[in-house]
A = this chain, B = another copy of it.
């Protein structure tokens, strides 16, 4: 089997496994199947759930596309790739739970290959996973980060500290001066092009896909039935407004997709089902809502000594 086939199999298996796990949790709704084709070559399958009791909107999109010539923006940063055929595959997902106390989750793992990986030095893996709570639960952030750190610790590539820092730098809403969430791990190229070993990198990414369930699902289970009212719902919708702002203004996958004209509905699958904006809203001093921005400041959530933190 070729490299690209192996990656595709792993990502598709991950998609199926995650769908099974989340459908088992929430039997009120199923993931619909939307296949799409890319005029230039390839396509994908977006699996989308809307209106579930636990997940208000969730999408898990697999894609595998190819083209005759590496897009100019990528060719510019990858010498030797210009004008050559390419292949790109990815698994991308966003979960927007119904309960305001349950955090949103996003992950994306992708593989890019110029020519054929077997014959070319130009290939790389990108990806990561991050979480966006509306309320400050330290135990959730600790569980999430420790699970991702354990994943990193199982491999010789993927230094948790570095990937966490990259994630914190990336998920920053500059115009608000706010972090989008509690971060996680993120990497543009797991090993820089020409340096990495395929098997080593692939093992890390495959583990990353399989770790998603452990990292996020227990948190969703813990928060999904917490009683809440109008106030918490409204706050959730305002925080989702920030999510929209980040994705449409900064997210590279989204802005690249909108500019180059990918499958729009799959690209904007990340949008929350509902969002709310209110002028200069300031949560009540001393409230849980007021704590969130401080809570989201980058910190070493995986630190063993952190168990005393609130």
Contact = CB atoms under 8 A, between A and B. Distances in A.
Identical copies of this chain, number: 2
Contact of A277 (B241, B249, B257, B271): B271
Contact of A274 (B174, B176, B274): B274
A48 interface: yes
Given A176-B264, A276-B273, A244 B249 contact: no
Given A175-B264, A261-B175, A274 B48 contact: no
A252 to B, nearest CB: 14
B265 A279 contact: yes
Interface of A: 32, 34, 46, 48, 50, 57, 59, 174-176, 237, 241, 244-245, 248-249, 255, 257-259, 261, 264-265, 267-269, 271-280
Contacts of A176: 264
Given A175-B258, A175-B261, A271-B241, A279 B34 contact: yes
A279 B176 CA distance: 28
A256 to B, nearest CB: 11
Contacts of A265: 279-280
Interface centre among A245, A277, A280 (most CB of B within 10 A): A277
Contacts of A46: 279
Interface centre among A59, A176, A261, A273 (most CB of B within 10 A): A273
A274 B273 contact: no
9 contacts: A34-B279, A34-B280, A174-B258, A175-B258, A245-B268, A249-B255, A265-B280, A273-B276, A274-B274
Contacts of A48: 279
Contact of A244 (B50, B175, B244, B255): B244
Contacts of A258: 174-175, 249
A196 to B, nearest CB: 33
Interface centre among A249, A268, A273, A275 (most CB of B within 10 A): A275
B277 A273 contact: yes
Contacts of A278: 50, 273
B279 A50 contact: yes
Interface centre among A50, A57, A174, A279 (most CB of B within 10 A): A279
Contacts of A50: 278-279
Nearest to A279: B48
Nearest to A275: B275
A269 B279 contact: yes
Nearest to A265: B280
A8 B32 CA distance: 55
A255 B248 CA distance: 11
B276 A274 contact: yes
A296 to B, nearest CB: 17
